[in-house]
Chain A
């Protein structure tokens, strides 16, 4: 018990004094996961819109499949990307394994289904009367799409936040394709909050782990508060 309290106090000290190691890991986490979320958003929102606003056989099954992929195990995604970019894999020549780029790719793949699925939900959640109103006001197809997106903007934003939350909190893919490397330069290191917590804990550095855990929670909290603020405006 004493050890935990001690660790907790030490953790506070690490955060308050902006410990360079902790801050670097936190910053790297945010950069990697944010990049992955942005890339995934760029794909998922148009894809979700395309699926939602078109009719084709098997549409329901496709949406079901996408929703099933919400719970895609992170290690499975990690493994998949690992196989693709490892030295013997088809993209091995790109030399991406154990780089932040590999982590961005894995996290993008990981959050793509959630973002796509939640975009579909967001768009289909727009009141049908709003859709009819847009058409009745003489919207072209493009004007219609833009305005429906505007109507669903908060729900889409919430989807992006959920995606970011999943990306920054996952550990399986990050460790498999990133490797938890602490290199001399910031850009070539792959140690992020989750992988660092896992390592520090196994090494017995409880205070370091708790500090990193708190930072992770604060980031999650910050994202949620930001979203809530936008939605209440």
Chain B
């Protein structure tokens, strides 16, 4: 439905997008995730014709949207957009939602019906006559969503729609996104710096880093098989270590990371420089003396360097010649009597090590 073909955008001397290529399919929810300043907003603005790409083309239904100035309006009218900052017109909620329909010359009775429906959908029934500026940020954002929705766009673009909103509003907006996509079949393209939001909502995710898609895939692919060291870091894999493959056989390899050898499942061959990504949830900590050998696994002796509470868990960092961080329940920390200086063994299976080619970074 939306094809991005080497889309680049420069602002003066700064390159924001450097050749983004990808595709959003009809009817899917596609999340553009990436750190702040990666160009997510710029990409959405280019698609909504609020800006023009420096190079490359964006096609919707096969049509280059920036090619023909005459068609800009009709192309733009296929889309709705919700911006990061909740912005409402200084009038009533009803009038706010009506704006897009009035632009299209929709009849009064039709506008009335659609607004009532939309208010109901976004949970603001009875708010119609309120002044939009008096609403809370979350309510304003729902008005913005209703306003974009009533025009029944083929594509709904949302630029970090829940950034700066309270958790309850975030949840409501997320539910609405899923409902709009499911009930109306609207193709939704949204950006977020919250990788978990991407995971919760999206059918597919594009990880935008340094102006390009570092990876495009299902949330599962992106979160378990990150394509690069940077993506791994961004999706919250805390342990990323670099090394060189020293032995490889039958999809198993041994990687020398300097002061230890790690066994991992991978198809890289001897001599290749790689990065190992190990989720902290996959690392087990056991007392040093009781370290049993795990088949196919890695057992590394080390010293606990820190125990830091994180929500209902504790993050335990172990120095095994390199820092390795693990997540344990408070109870486990207590049972194992873990504290700074405790001698332990950290273990993880070869399958829990995800191996990527080492980047230049």
B133-164 interface bits toward A, Cβ cutoff 8 Å, 1 = contact, 0 = none: 00000000000100110010000010000000
The reply to whether the CB of A129 lies closer than 8 angstroms to some CB of chain B is: yes
User: Which residues, 84 to 103 on B, are CB-close (under 8 Å) to A?
Assistant: 85, 87, 89-91, 99-100, 103
| A residues near B85, Cβ cutoff 8 Å | 127, 129
With A130-B89, A150-B89 as contacts: A137 and B99 at CB distance below 8 Å: yes
Contact of A137 with B89 in the complex, beta carbons under 8 Å: no
| B residues near A134, Cβ cutoff 8 Å | 99
- Which residue of chain B has its CB nearest to the CB of A127? B87
| Closest Cβ–Cβ distance, residue B128 to chain A (whole Å) | 18
| Closest Cβ–Cβ distance, residue A126 to chain B (whole Å) | 10
Contact of A135 among B50, B90, B151 (CB under 8 A): B50
The reply to whether the CB of A24 lies closer than 8 angstroms to some CB of chain B is: no
| Closest Cβ–Cβ distance, residue A70 to chain B (whole Å) | 26
The reply to whether the CB of A147 lies closer than 8 angstroms to some CB of chain B is: yes
| A residues near B45, Cβ cutoff 8 Å | 132
Contact of B87 among A133, A135, A140, A154 (CB under 8 A): A133
Contact of B50 among A136, A140, A147, A154 (CB under 8 A): A136
The reply to whether the CB of A143 lies closer than 8 angstroms to some CB of chain B is: yes
Contact of B77 among A138, A150, A151 (CB under 8 A): A138
The reply to whether the CB of B168 lies closer than 8 angstroms to some CB of chain A is: no
| Closest Cβ–Cβ distance, residue A171 to chain B (whole Å) | 37
Please, how many angstroms separate the alpha-carbon atoms of A129 and B148 in the complex? Answer: 14
Contact of A151 with B83 in the complex, beta carbons under 8 Å: no
The reply to whether the CB of B73 lies closer than 8 angstroms to some CB of chain A is: yes
- Which residue of chain B has its CB nearest to the CB of A134? B99
Please, how many angstroms separate the alpha-carbon atoms of A140 and B50 in the complex? Answer: 13
| Closest Cβ–Cβ distance, residue A229 to chain B (whole Å) | 15
The reply to whether the CB of B319 lies closer than 8 angstroms to some CB of chain A is: no
Contact of B81 with A140 in the complex, beta carbons under 8 Å: no
A: contact size bracket? 10 to 19
The reply to whether the CB of B200 lies closer than 8 angstroms to some CB of chain A is: no
Q: Which of A130, A135, A136 gathers most chain B CB within 10 Å?
A: A136
The reply to whether the CB of A227 lies closer than 8 angstroms to some CB of chain B is: no
Contact of A143 with B76 in the complex, beta carbons under 8 Å: no
| A residues near B89, Cβ cutoff 8 Å | 130, 133, 147, 150-151
Please, how many angstroms separate the alpha-carbon atoms of A134 and B102 in the complex? Answer: 12
The reply to whether the CB of A30 lies closer than 8 angstroms to some CB of chain B is: no
The reply to whether the CB of A80 lies closer than 8 angstroms to some CB of chain B is: no
| Closest Cβ–Cβ distance, residue B95 to chain A (whole Å) | 10
| Closest Cβ–Cβ distance, residue A123 to chain B (whole Å) | 14
- Which residue of chain A has its CB nearest to the CB of B75? A138
Contact of B76 with A136 in the complex, beta carbons under 8 Å: yes
B112-140 interface bits toward A, Cβ cutoff 8 Å, 1 = contact, 0 = none: 00000000000000000000000000000
The reply to whether the CB of B79 lies closer than 8 angstroms to some CB of chain A is: yes
The reply to whether the CB of B3 lies closer than 8 angstroms to some CB of chain A is: no
Contact of B147 with A137 in the complex, beta carbons under 8 Å: yes
| A residues near B79, Cβ cutoff 8 Å | 136
User: Which residues, 33 to 57 on B, are CB-close (under 8 Å) to A?
Assistant: 45, 48-50
| A residues near B243, Cβ cutoff 8 Å | none
With A140-B103, A147-B99 as contacts: A135 and B76 at CB distance below 8 Å: yes
| Closest Cβ–Cβ distance, residue B73 to chain A (whole Å) | 6
Contact of A136 with B80 in the complex, beta carbons under 8 Å: yes
The reply to whether the CB of B290 lies closer than 8 angstroms to some CB of chain A is: no
- Which residue of chain A has its CB nearest to the CB of B50? A132
The reply to whether the CB of B293 lies closer than 8 angstroms to some CB of chain A is: no
Please, how many angstroms separate the alpha-carbon atoms of A139 and B151 in the complex? Answer: 12
| A residues near B49, Cβ cutoff 8 Å | 135
Contact of B48 among A136, A139, A140, A154 (CB under 8 A): A136
Q: Which of A130, A132, A138, A147 gathers most chain B CB within 10 Å?
A: A138
Contact of A140 with B73 in the complex, beta carbons under 8 Å: yes
Please, how many angstroms separate the alpha-carbon atoms of A134 and B99 in the complex? Answer: 8
Please, how many angstroms separate the alpha-carbon atoms of A133 and B87 in the complex? Answer: 8
Please, how many angstroms separate the alpha-carbon atoms of A129 and B103 in the complex? Answer: 18
| Closest Cβ–Cβ distance, residue A42 to chain B (whole Å) | 24
| B residues near A154, Cβ cutoff 8 Å | 90
| A residues near B91, Cβ cutoff 8 Å | 150
Contact of A139 with B103 in the complex, beta carbons under 8 Å: yes
Contact of A138 with B87 in the complex, beta carbons under 8 Å: no
| Closest Cβ–Cβ distance, residue B193 to chain A (whole Å) | 18
Task: Name 10 interchain pairs, CB-CB below 8 A, sorted by A.
Answer: A129-B83, A129-B85, A129-B87, A132-B81, A133-B144, A135-B49, A135-B76, A137-B99, A137-B103, A137-B151
Binding site for B on A (CB under 8 A): 127, 129-130, 132-140, 143, 147, 150-151, 154
Q: Which 10 A-B pairs have the closest CB atoms?
A: A129-B87, A138-B77, A137-B100, A136-B81, A138-B103, A129-B85, A129-B83, A143-B103, A139-B103, A130-B87
Instruction: A136-B76, A136-B148 given; name 17 further pairs at CB < 8 Å.
Output: A132-B45, A132-B83, A133-B81, A133-B89, A135-B48, A135-B50, A136-B48, A136-B50, A137-B99, A137-B100, A137-B103, A137-B148, A137-B151, A138-B77, A138-B103, A138-B104, A140-B73
